[in-house]
């Protein structure tokens, strides 16, 4: 299968979806590839219920609602979505690039925009939880409803652990948060909200055993030499994840600490290849969704000149002529 397009976007998270819309605004045909089977990237896979507080114009917006709005906006560009596929190879042609996908599809484009976030990610396992995955132990909380009325143990000390503890506290019978240190990586405001709630916080601790008959029924938590058993019908292992840029690293693109180096135009070290969003690295980089949106517009406008040398970088304002 051969797909012909003007701009290929690698990554269908918020930055990639906004880039798809903006490519349509610039009059481009656009294709979007993502290894996940659904649009929305990490938000859809991990945080659909999370309230997002740092997107301009939204004092607070649920993750799934933000994705729904971005998809609706992107669809005005009539993008060709190639989901559940991974971009593997990249070859330059005289008038563009050819990207090979893992299912044998070839995408021929004038330029490529990489918006792959942190790349492919896999959760860090809970050592004692290997046999319990899908039987009461999960790595993500895509929906809160299944936890209603349950005793929940959350393992971790980052933003995800505290966000989920805060949202599950009103609907679960009990929530216990277990962390191996006294210090947390989560936002201070969220930590304080959890401290002020009914959530039990156990620090300097580790989950030493999980027990149950077929499904999780209890969890042993060890602090020093003392072990306490807590009732638990659900365990959430929020221990972070391992990110991997995968085949992108074989393209010859300049990478610094798992991030793609770009210049102020969002150009990478490869001709006709641009990047935007969390995957990028440059002096002063701030990894926020709001920043990714601006980088997407910058990247698409500069990629436009690579696609059509007679075009201008600045497109004019979208409000002009209305």
Q: Determine if residue 186 is labeled as part of a ligand binding site.
A: no
Q: In what order do the strands lie in the sheet with 200-202?
A: 137-138, 234-237, 151-155, 174-178, 200-202
Q: Determine if residue 148 is labeled as part of a ligand binding site.
A: no
CA angle 57, 290, 194 (to 5 degrees): 85
Q: Determine if residue 147 is labeled as part of a ligand binding site.
A: no
* DSSP-derived pairing of the beta strands 80-83 and 96-101: unpaired
Handedness of CA 173, 179, 183, 189 (dihedral sign): negative
If we measure between CA atoms, which residue out of 48, 115, 46 comes closest to residue 79?
A: 115
Q: 311, exposed or middle or buried, with CB in 10 Å at 0-12, 13-18, 19+?
A: middle
Tell me if 129 sits within 8 A of 237, measured CB to CB: yes
CA 18 vs CA 55, 298, 315: distances in Å? 13, 12, 16
Handedness of CA 201, 207, 212, 215 (dihedral sign): positive
Q: Identify the residue whose tokens are 């971009």.
A: 87
Q: Determine if residue 42 is labeled as part of a ligand binding site.
A: yes
Distance CA 10, CA 87 (A): 7
Other beta carbons less than 10 A from residue 39's beta carbon: 24
Q: Determine if residue 206 is labeled as part of a ligand binding site.
A: no
Phi-psi region of 170 (alpha: psi -120 to 50; beta: other; left: phi over 0): alpha
Q: Determine if residue 222 is labeled as part of a ligand binding site.
A: no
Q: Determine if residue 121 is labeled as part of a ligand binding site.
A: yes
Q: Determine if residue 15 is labeled as part of a ligand binding site.
A: yes
* Residues whose CB falls within 8 Å of the CB of residue 170, separated by 6 or more in sequence, listed in order: none
Handedness of CA 15, 21, 24, 29 (dihedral sign): positive
List alpha helices for 158-309, DSSP H: 159-168, 188-195, 289-307
Binding-site annotation: residue ranges for FAD: 15, 34, 42, 47, 87, 121, 278, 319
Binding-site annotation: residue ranges: 15, 34, 42, 47, 87, 121, 278, 319
């Amino acid at each position: 299968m051969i797909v012909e397009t003007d701009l290929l976007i690698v990554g269908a998270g918020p930055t990639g979806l906004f880039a798809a819309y903006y490519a349509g605004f610039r009059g481009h045909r656009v294709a979007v590839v993502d290894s996940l089977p659904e649009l929305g990237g990490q938000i859809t896979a991990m945080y659909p219920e999370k309230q997002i507080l740092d997107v301009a114009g939204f004092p607070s917006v649920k993750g799934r609602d933000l994705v729904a709005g971005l998809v609706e906006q992107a669809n005005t560009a009539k993008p060709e979505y190639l989901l559940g596929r991974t971009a593997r190879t990249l070859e330059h042609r005289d008038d563009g690039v050819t990207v090979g996908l893992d299912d044998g599809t070839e995408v021929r484009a004038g330029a490529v925009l990489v918006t792959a976030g942190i790349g492919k990610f896999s959760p860090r396992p809970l050592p004692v939880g290997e046999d319990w995955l899908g039987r009461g132990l999960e790595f993500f909380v895509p929906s809160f409803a299944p936890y209603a009325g349950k005793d929940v143990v959350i393992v971790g000390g980052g933003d995800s652990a505290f966000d989920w503890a805060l949202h599950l506290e009103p609907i679960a019978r009990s929530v216990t948060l277990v962390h191996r240190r006294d210090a947390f990586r989560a936002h201070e405001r969220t930590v304080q909200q959890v401290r002020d709630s009914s959530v039990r916080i156990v620090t300097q601790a580790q989950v030493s055993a999980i027990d149950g008959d077929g499904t999780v029924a209890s969890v042993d938590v060890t602090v020093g030499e003392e072990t306490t058993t807590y009732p638990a019908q659900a365990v959430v292992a929020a221990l972070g994840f391992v990110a991997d840029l995968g085949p992108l690293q074989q393209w010859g693109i300049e990478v610094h600490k798992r991030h793609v180096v770009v210049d102020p135009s969002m150009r990478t070290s490869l001709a006709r290849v641009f990047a935007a969003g969390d995957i990028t690295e440059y002096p002063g980089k701030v990894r926020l969704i709001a920043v990714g949106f601006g980088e997407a517009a910058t990247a698409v406008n500069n990629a436009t000149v690579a696609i059509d040398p007679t075009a201008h970088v600045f497109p004019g304002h979208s409000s002009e002529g209305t």
